[in-house]
Amino acid sequence: MSSLRAAGITLLNQSVLLRGVNDNAQTLANLSNALFDAGVMPYYLHVLDKVQGAAHFMVSDDEARHIMRELLTLVSGYMVPKLAREIGGEPSKTPLDLQLRQQ
């Protein structure tokens, strides 16, 4: 990674939110800090695609939003990855609204 960084290449991380692995704000804050220390920006945090055999890792959209709102209290904004979902047929990742404003 140091060779890439020395060449001026920006390194971005994409992670997947997984129940029982990284489904809490403190774990994600630790990951963001470790990535940043290594010269990598936390960029996307994907909600899990609904695939056979992985349902036990699923985190609901509401839970994901709650985790992300808590993460915003733990790290600087530039270290908070964008919460996103892959939707078949769409040309790009679809960001999930964190619903930060109260209705």
pLDDT tens profile 21-33: 999 999 999 999 9
What is each CA distance from 13 to 20, 55, 78, 100, in whole angstroms? Answer: 20, 24, 13, 24
Q: Which pTM value belongs to this model?
A: 0.89
In this structure, what DSSP letter does residue 35 have? H
**Residues 2-60: pLDDT tens digits?**
888 889 899 999 999 999 999 999 999 999 999 999 999 999 999 998 889 999 999 99
| Cα–Cα distance, 73 to 28 (Å, whole number) | 12
